[in-house]
Amino acid sequence: MLSTLVSLSIRAVAQNMDLLEQKIPDLPASLLKDLLPHLNMFYLDRIEKTAQLKRISTSLQIVWADKWRDLNHTWRCKLKFMQPEENWKQKCLESLFHMVLLRKAEVQNLLSNLSEHAVLSMSAKHVQVLTLTLAVRGGCRLASPDHRPILSLLEKSVRCLRLFDAEALLQHGNAELLFVLHRLIDHGSVTEVVLKKTPDCSLFSWITFRCRGPYRTNSQSSATTDSRETSHNADHWAEEGPSAPKCPRLDLYTDEKLCSILSPLCSFNERWHVDQIHSLDLEVRSLATVSRLLPSWLSLKSLHLYGTQPLWEDEVAGFLASLRKLCLDPHCSLRDLSMGNVSSQNLLADLLTINPSLHSLSLDINPPWDNTVKPGQSLQFRQDTELSLEKLSLKSAIVHTVKNFPAVLQHAPNLSSLYVSGIHHAHLFLHTLSESNPLLKVLILEDISLTNCHQEIIHLIENSNLEELSLKDCRLLERCTEKRDFLVPFVVAVRGLSSLHTLSLSQNRLAKSAIEIADLFLGECPSKITKLDLSSNFILPADLLEFSQRVEMYRPTQRLTLDLRFNPLDRDPKTAPLWSS
């Protein structure tokens, strides 16, 4: 009876926080802790200092994590392991800001009778990534006098600006949207811009002008000026192809004039960021416009390009020529590059030859349109060449790319993270890893046949300092007549790798053999793994029960997170073992 009365009282307080908020500091810590789950996000934010004083911040973080799960219903599908270091409050309030801006109906259920302006003002300072789409027409509302204080908060907090359907956005709110973009980019803290669905070309030119470096050669200055002067000329964009949309005639004046035109309150004497855009993430139909402007992007540190249609060899060649011009400038800042939906069989070799200073490189390379593979150039580094690569991601089925791969690894001693998908002849590079890449911490192999590479896998594990290993859809046991012949030495090798904390064997048809994996936690020196992924392995309920019983018997000392989704267990919940670690 008493517990029911306390519960009713807590709910009553939560529902009347507008009247009782000032009394919250008088509550004992135990009651305040019980109250937290019943508060909406607005009041959770407002009582944070009180929670810190009463030393219940950990409980508050747990409540924020629960709120995040409620907001994002797809989290279970992604099964993102909840990390205590994640800033769940920031994630919640950033998501809430977009929901209110979009005026979603469910927001009223979350926030009862609070005003839209109050919620936007509270959550704006937590928005690090601002997304504007045609659906989020509220983006234009940020330009109104009533929302100017909210826009000022966003200028301080937003680091990444994401624009979808930029051309349609401008057609529905040209001056208002341009003012918002100008304030966030030129007077705010935005350093990363994401442009999706083939951005409006004149807006693209205007934004990427902020990627220019403070030091420019005469030729680059001239090229940049020409691109600005011709950005309203339809002929200038003819290279995008006959199907490209006509560009709206945006009024892109000098920066000083832009400030005075957009608002009398926006003065060029205000804080102004020169060369502020350091990261671009672009979806493009063609590389022509990017190639033309690329040599002037001296302040750009990170460039991500994805073709909405295949980017063929001829236009990739033009991009590489422009990239070479950029990299020859001593003030070039580019260190992170990714390209997707590209067809160029020598791309890996070409990029690293042009810019050996890249720290991160990600490539998704498609076969040529006619599936013919021309003789490629072998990658020849000087013996003393040392690449700066720390992270490499490669998805390619082109044979010549694979042949060049070991040469890259041999000259990348600082490599710490490697993702490889789809390539053949894995034995060509597996042995190289243990010999040439002692700093490798993360290795993710996906959709690669490793059925004939068992010795190479075990040798690598025994001679590495890996912290994360993923062998997803690698047909590990496809040709094994006796599966234990591989799994037993594999388990022993993994147990001996004390640095390893994450192991994924997803989609390998382990079936009953998964029971052997439980022996990772056997003996006086068990594995230190804290995350184990055995999803999609056709493990029957009875075998999964035996696996779980073994692990429970071994009692690993560390907390273990298991991913067992998409096994037949999912379809037989009554047989599922009620065991968790």
Closest residue by Cα to residue 470 from 484, 495, 496, 450: 450
The model's pLDDT over 350-369, given as tens digits with 9 standing for 90+, comes to 999 999 999 999 999 988 76
Predicted local distance difference test score (pLDDT) of residue 273: 62
Both tokens of 205, joined, read: 């030119």
* Contact status, residue 554 vs residue 522, Cβ threshold 8 Å: yes
Helices (H), 16-147: 17-20, 29-35, 41-46, 48-53, 57-71, 75-78, 88-102, 107-111, 116-124, 138-141
Query: How far is the C-alpha of 348 from the C-alpha of 338, rounded, in Å?
Result: 11
Query: How far is the C-alpha of 324 from the C-alpha of 318, rounded, in Å?
Result: 10
Residue that has been written with the tokens 């409540």 in this structure: 63
- pTM score, two decimals? 0.86
Fold of 441-573: 3.80.10
The CA distances from residue 498 to 118, 448, 521, in Å, are 51, 26, 12
* Contact status, residue 188 vs residue 157, Cβ threshold 8 Å: no
* Contact status, residue 392 vs residue 418, Cβ threshold 8 Å: yes
Domain boundaries of the chain, sorted by first residue: 18-77+86-126, 441-573
Residue that has been written with the tokens 């934004």 in this structure: 207
Residues lower than pLDDT 70 in the chain: 1-3, 6, 73-85, 105-106, 108-110, 112, 134-138, 166-174, 198-200, 214-275, 369-378, 400, 569-581
Predicted local distance difference test score (pLDDT) of residue 144: 86
Q: What DSSP string describes 249-278?
A: ------HHHHHHHH-TT--TTS---SS---
Predicted local distance difference test score (pLDDT) of residue 110: 66
- 3-class secondary-structure state, position 488: helix
Look over the chain and give the mean of its residue pLDDT values, rounded to a whole number.
83
Both tokens of 212, joined, read: 């220019």
Query: How far is the C-alpha of 174 from the C-alpha of 197, rounded, in Å?
Result: 18
Predicted local distance difference test score (pLDDT) of residue 487: 97
Predicted local distance difference test score (pLDDT) of residue 231: 39
Q: What DSSP string describes 193-238?
A: EEEESS--HHHHHHHHGGG--SS--HHHHHHHHHHHHTTT-GGGGG
Q: Which helix or strand (DSSP H or E) is residue 310 part of?
A: strand 302-311
The model's pLDDT over 443-485, given as tens digits with 9 standing for 90+, comes to 999 999 999 999 999 999 999 999 999 999 999 999 888 999 9
Q: What is the pairing mode between strands 531-533 and 417-421?
A: unpaired
- 3-class secondary-structure state, position 180: helix
Query: How far is the C-alpha of 553 from the C-alpha of 446, rounded, in Å?
Result: 32
The one-letter amino acid code at 4 reads T
Predicted local distance difference test score (pLDDT) of residue 348: 92
Residue 447 burial (CB count, 10 A): 15
Q: Using the CB atoms, write b or e for 24-38: b if 16+ within 10 Å.
A: beebeeeebbbbbeb
* Contact status, residue 555 vs residue 524, Cβ threshold 8 Å: no
